[in-house]
Structure 1
Amino acid sequence: MFLNRTTMHTPIPPSKRAPARAGGFSLVELMVAIAIGLIIMAGMTTLFVNNSAAQAEIEKVNRQIENGRYAMSTLTNDLRNAGFLGEYSPAALATPLALPDPCAVTEAALVAALPLHVQGVDSVGSASLGCITDAMPGTDAIVVRHARTCVLGAANCGGVDDPGPFFQASLCNNKLELDSGDAGDHYALAIAKTAMTRTRKDCLTTAVVRRYLVHIYYVANNGVGSDGIPTLKRAELEATDGGALEFNVVPLVEGIENLQLQYGIDNALPADGVADSYSASPATAQGWRDVVSVKISLLARNLQASPGYKAGKTYTLGADVNGNDIVVTKADGYKRHVFQAVASMANPVGRRMP
Structure 2
Amino acid sequence: MMSQLRSNHRSLSVPGRAAGLTLVELMVAMTIGLVLIVGATQVYVDSSGAYRVNETTARLQENARYVLSVLEPDIRMSGYWGLTNHSDTIVGKALPTDAQSALGGAAASTCGVNFPLLLGFPVQGTNDSYTATCAANSAAMPNADTITVRRASAVTVPPASASGPLRVCSTHTSGLLVTDITGTFCQDVDAQINNLIVNLYYVDQSSSQAGVPSLRRKALTAGPGPAFQPIFPVPDEELVSGVEDLQVQYGVDLSGGGATSGAASEYLDAGATLTNLLTTATPPAQNPAQIVAVRIWVLVRSDSPESGFIDDHTYEYGDRLTKNGTTGDLTNVADNAKAYQPSLSADNSFTGVKRYRRLLVSKTIQIRNALIN
TM-score band, normalised by shorter chain? 0.7 to 0.9
* CA distance 1:253–1:115, change in 2 (3 Å): same
- The within-5 A match list for 1:12-91 is 21=17, 23-90=19-86
Spell out the pairing of 1:281-320 with structure 2 (5 A cutoff): 281=270, 282-284=274-276, 286=278, 290-319=290-319
State the 1:163 CA deviation: 4.9
Which runs of 5 or more residues in structure 1 are unaligned? 1-11, 172-177, 179-185
Which of the numbers 192, 199, 214 marks the counterpart of 1:231?
Answer: 214
**Structure 2 residue aligned with 1:106:** 104
Choose between structure 1 and 2 for higher RCO, CA contacts under 8 A separated by at least 6 residues.
1
**CA-to-partner distance for each residue in 1:178-213, whole Å, 9 max, x for gaps?**
4xxxxxxx21212233357335xxxx5263321110
Q: Answer whether contact 1:218 1:234 (CA < 8 A) is retained.
A: yes
Instruction: Give RMSD over aligned pairs.
Output: 3.4
Instruction: Please state how far the C-alpha of 1:26 moved relative to its aligned partner.
Output: 2.0
Output the TM-score relative to the length of structure 2. 0.73
Tell me the CA shift for residue 150 of structure 1.
1.1
Query: If the length of structure 1 is used for normalisation, what is the TM-score?
Result: 0.77
| TM superposition outliers: structure 1 runs of 4+ over 4 Å | 16-20, 91-101, 323-326
Work out whether residues 99 and 284 of structure 1, in 8 Å CA contact, stay in contact via their aligned partners in 2.
no
1:208 aligns with 2:192: yes
1:21 Cα offset (Å)? 3.2
Q: Is structure 2 residue 266 aligned with structure 1 residue 277?
A: yes
Q: What one-letter code is carried by the residue in structure 2 that aligns with 1:334?
A: Y
SS at 2:154 equivalent: coil
Deviation at 1:120, TM superposition (A): 0.7
Give, in whole Å, the separation in 2 of the partners of 1:334 and 1:111: 37
Determine if the alignment matches structure 1 residue 152 to structure 2 residue 157. yes
Q: Is 1:135–2:157 an aligned residue pair?
A: no
Give the structure 2 partner of residue 115 of structure 1. 120
Q: How many residues align?
A: 310
Shift of 1:263: 0.3
CA 259–111 in structure 1, closer or farther in 2 if over 3 Å, else same: closer
**Could you say which residue in structure 2 is the equivalent of 1:338?**
360
Choose from 189, 194, 197 the match for 2:177.
189
With over 3 angstroms needed to count, the CA separation of the structure-2 counterparts of 1:149 and 1:21, relative to structure 1, is same
CA separation of 1:122 and 1:111: change in aligned 2, threshold 3 A: closer
Identity of aligned residues (%): 27
Deviations 1:281-322 (A, max 9, x none): 11248359711101111111111112112253321121279x
Q: 1:23, CA displacement in angstroms?
A: 3.9
Render the CA deviation track for 1:146-195: whole Å, top value 9, x for unaligned. Answer: 111111259xxxx9458512111125xxxxxx4xxxxxxx2121223335
Listed as ranges, the gaps of 5+ residues in structure 2 are 1-6, 106-112, 280-287, 325-336, 344-353
Deviations 1:13-41 (A, max 9, x none): xxx99897354322331232122112211
Distance 1:162 1:168, change over 3 A: closer
